[in-house]
Structure 1
Amino acid sequence: MEQFIYKKSEDILALSASMSDFTYKKHCHEEYAVGVTLRGIQQYNLNGSFQSSHRNGVMLFNREQYHDGSSYDRAGIDYVMLYLRPELVSEILGSKELRFNIPIVYDRWLARCICSLSEAVQTGQEESLCSELLLSLIERLAHTSADTAHRMDNRFVERAKEMMMGSLNQVLKLEDLSNEFGISKFQFIRGFKQHAGISPYQFFLNCKVEYAKRSIEQTKDIYAAVAECGFFDLTHLNRHFKSMFGVTAYEYMSQLN
């Protein structure tokens, strides 16, 4: 049975998941994502390479790092995942950001930090405890990160991303984007995918779903999220929301109450 349980503290979103047949579509998160495989073998494609996280494997995802995900076999997997807001990481590390060069590590102390914080959030422990556990985790992650230098993205991609982020309630217009750079829409698609690792449409859709998630967290109104993000209807939002988070938008909202 597929099960995805989201709980949110003041600073952290925690996921406790069990799945066998479910497969994540290619997506990314604006936050850092760190997790531990508790049972089974979790497989995913990341930056063009195939990864396998076995039991006690610590999975490290950079911001906006595209990946999919599935279980190795029908025996399924259990895992926990934490989503860390970049501004929170920057506050703790002094205006620096994490940069993971190794996607999976087997570090018992780090795994324990992640599991302890996940359990605290999932069981509704006091914010003061969650904050202390979060500090310990991020400090440990900073040691794990081989490079905390500021990330430099291609200017072409950054400008294109800005334009798409500014029109999430609309339909993606490739002609407008390509005209901005004086190229054809096909040249734009090829160039964006080459530098970003994902197509413009996939990026745009991913951003819409991420924005809808934040809207639901703030307003607890799934229909407002549908309207704000330009989805045709709730079914349209739910289909894409579930492909990224394992639950529908309504199920996610219900878990946050």
Structure 2
Amino acid sequence: MHEQFSYQQSAHTLGLFSFSAKMKDFSYGKHAHEEFSIGVTCRGRQDFFSNGAFHKSQAGNVIFFSPEQVHDGHAGDGKDMEYEMLYIPDSIMMSLMQSIGNVSKDQSRLREASFYDLILQRQVMSFSRSMNSEQPLSSLEEEHLLLGIAHSIVRLGGGSFIEKVVHGRTEMLLERAKEFIHFNLNRKIDIEEISSAANMSKYHFIRLFSKQFGMTPHQYVLSNKINRVKRELELGDNAANIAFKYGFSDLSHLNRNFKNTFGITPTQYQKQLSL
């Protein structure tokens, strides 16, 4: 097997990378990363020594290294092995976790370096594949995916989630953010712009918005865009034109998101209206 190692840098977050590896004979020496290193063994077995113990990560397992956690690594049983990994800056992940829960530094450093958790596994794989897709992630999509991983770490580390009722001036500021979103649906907007419209810090805003409206800012923006697309399809506009108008990277990007909401593609929806 030819060894393959591939890194992909985030276009929005400094120090955020995805990494994919295919290996058989290569062995990593002892080392540690400054970031949270969270991955999934995709094929074969990943063997490594860390935290005073030897680990054998089977296909499907999550691999979790806290910042500065020393480890090595190689393919197990001398067979081909593949894995995906995310490198997430410590400050970014801690800010996200503390925006949604009461979590100490110790609780964010999970005890197990290899374990099975289907939710976190799917989150890591979804993020990694999205970063390596030809369709680049928007900053809102990236924040949404990072928030999901932060939620899982709080859950696995035993932290408690913040339950805070939103009222008064805060509610007014969140409504102002919604108005900003509605007014700017025909262009790409990022979380900094939306949170600034609400006069809040980014992570504080994400938590309060999600609590108040039952979805993250990214989900809310996407939902409103899809509803606008539906309305314009009903008025007879072309799906490709609409995709461009509302900032989808191409028609397939629109098709996927429209189908997730309505079960059929925009073109299929338009055809049904003309029957």
The bucket for the TM-score relative to the shorter chain is 0.5 to 0.7
Does the 8 Å CA contact 1:36/1:58 hold for their aligned counterparts?
yes
Are 1:14 and 2:18 counterparts? yes
Report the residue type matching 1:101 in the other structure.
Answer: R
Q: 1:48 corresponds to which residue?
A: 52
Question: SS at the partner of 1:94?
Answer: helix
Q: C-alpha root-mean-square deviation of aligned residues, in Å?
A: 1.7
User: For each residue in 1:57-112, what CA deviation from the matched residue of structure 2 results, as whole angstroms up to 9, or x when unmatched?
Assistant: 00111110100000013321110001111110121122853111111111111100
TM-score (ref. length: structure 2): 0.51
Are 1:108 and 2:113 counterparts? no
Q: 1:62 corresponds to which residue?
A: 66
Structure 2: which 5+ residue stretches go unaligned?
Answer: 161-275
Are 1:144 and 2:145 counterparts? no
CA distance in 1, matches of 2:94, 2:127: 19
Identity rate, percent: 33
Question: SS at the partner of 1:102?
Answer: coil
Structure 1: which 5+ residue stretches go unaligned?
Answer: 149-257
Change (3 A) 1:57 1:2: same
Report the residue type matching 2:113 in the other structure.
Answer: P
Q: 2:140 corresponds to which residue?
A: 128
Match 2:128 to one of 118, 127, 144: 118
Q: Which one has a bigger Cα radius of gyration?
A: 2
Q: Which has the higher contact order (CA 8 A, sep 6+)?
A: 1
Question: SS at the partner of 2:72?
Answer: strand
Question: SS at the partner of 1:137?
Answer: helix
CA distance in 1, matches of 2:59, 2:25: 18
TM-score (ref. length: structure 1): 0.55
CA distance in 1, matches of 2:57, 2:81: 10
Question: In the TM superposition, what is the alpha-carbon distance from 1:128 to its structure 2 partner?
Answer: 1.9
Does the 8 Å CA contact 1:2/1:22 hold for their aligned counterparts?
yes
Does the 8 Å CA contact 1:34/1:60 hold for their aligned counterparts?
yes
CA distance in 1, matches of 2:112, 2:72: 17
Q: 1:5 corresponds to which residue?
A: 6
Question: In the TM superposition, what is the alpha-carbon distance from 1:53 to its structure 2 partner?
Answer: 0.2
CA distance in 2, matches of 1:146, 1:76: 35
CA distance in 1, matches of 2:132, 2:5: 12
